[in-house]
Amino acid sequence: MKAFLPPLALIAMLAGVPAQADPLRQAIATDLPGLIAIYRDFHAHPELSNSETRSAGILAAEAKKAGFEVTTGVGGTGVVAVFRNGPGPVLMLRADMDALPVTEDSGLPYASQNRGVMHACGHDTHMTAWIGTARRMAAMKANWSGTLVMIAQPAEEIGQGARAMLKDGLYTRFPKPGTVIAFHDSASLPAGTIGYVDGYTMANVDSVDILVKGVGGHGAYPHLAKDPIVIASRIVSTLQTLIAREVDPLESGVVTVGSFQAGTKHNIIPPDARLQLTVRSYTPEVRQQLLSGIARIAKGEGIAAGLPDELLPIVTHQDQRTPATFNTHGITTRMAGVFTERFGKERVVTVRPQMGGEDFSEFYLADKSIQALLFWVGGVRKDKWDAAKGDLTKLPSIHSPFWAPDAEAVVSTAVDAMTTAALDVLKK
């Protein structure tokens, strides 16, 4: 979408209808220049996980200005904003705030001023749309009834923020939601397109370390040593059979060795080698199958190499894990219909589940009576999408130093979608 289009024309083009004929779209168009200024400020000042103090302060101030009751410092830097508007259901809308340890190379005039830190995942668009939605819901309070809880969550990128907010009393200190909704910008959809999955949409993510011990020695005399590099190499190769030969072919899983560290010099057999793995799955059963298989293979290769019990490989799991994101059927199909009616069937599409991770499902897993939906809003500029002909290998992905979403299209679409969803859940 052309960045130079005025907001009203941009929203009219995205919607396919005259913006002036729709009060919500008219309000979003009027608000969009100010929102984009906020977005660019967020983008220029990214903050790493659990350090989102500046971002949280901006969000809290905007929510207070809109009339919400605001509590800060929930689960670290988290913000909880509550708008009580009579009897009715409780809806929670969530945005995440943290950036990534990535050096930006987008060439944007408002690129990150914090070298080595970048909003490469688009959480700056999430926060901006959160503000726009809060403004619209407050301004339209005559059109809905119930309680709206809007949260700004820290530390999504390290899988800690949702759990931290829940542990800090999110569901006991504040109204407990019956429905939770969030969106994520997408580098796999053209700008302004809404994508959704019914069921699993993102994966379980486990980080696993394997310490492979051996007996160090001289490279010229390997028979006097136990080479951990060879043992670790066997482990890497055998791990591939977990997916190829143990997991049901109709299920999904990934085991990737992302780091293999060992040795210091050509002619020295080191005393140990270290592997770092990322493990992806959807169902709890496949997750457990993969994790137990990793432990079994590591131990088995150590035994096969003749290691004594005290030198067998040690497998440990890092705390940075996220559960699979699961969209519950009821709210997903309901919002698919609402969005299709609102945006047209050309802009609302079903997409494939992804093996990326998100901690959004923590809010659903804390109480499975809650309805949950995380949907996608496309961010690839139309000219770039057309030039690539939809070939994702020719486009930067999220977490890339080159990721620069069409912020106007993402923010305007997300505010429209989140407000429309909230008005539907909280309709009188």
Q: What does the block give as tokens for 138?
A: 């407050």
At 69 the three-state DSSP class reads strand
Has 156 been annotated as catalytic?
yes
C-alpha span between 113 and 110 (Å, rounded): 8
At 175 the three-state DSSP class reads coil
Residue 405 Ramachandran class (φ > 0 left, ψ -120 to 50 alpha, else beta) = beta
Checking DSSP bridges between strand 348-350 and strand 194-196, what pairing results, if any? parallel
Q: DSSP class of residue 323? A: P
Q: What does the block give as tokens for 26?
A: 């008219």
C-alpha span between 395 and 402 (Å, rounded): 9
C-alpha span between 116 and 102 (Å, rounded): 5
C-alpha span between 322 and 396 (Å, rounded): 24
Catalytic residue among 31, 156, 227, 362: 156
Q: How many contiguous H segments (helices) and E segments (strands) does the chain have?
A: 11, 16
Residue closest to 204 by CA, chosen among 164, 157, 253: 253
DSSP string, 326-395: EE-HHHHHHHHHHHHHHH-TTSEEE----S---STTHHHHT-TTSEEEEEEEEEE-HHHHHHHTT-GGGS
* Residue 186 exposed, middle or buried by CB count within 10 Å (0-12, 13-18, 19+): buried
Q: What does the block give as tokens for 184?
A: 């994520």
C-alpha span between 56 and 399 (Å, rounded): 22
Catalytic residue among 31, 96, 98, 104: 98
Residues 6 or more apart whose CB falls under 8 angstroms from that of 107 comprise 404
Has 367 been annotated as catalytic?
no
Written as one letter, the residue type at 391 is D
- Residues designated as active site: 98, 156
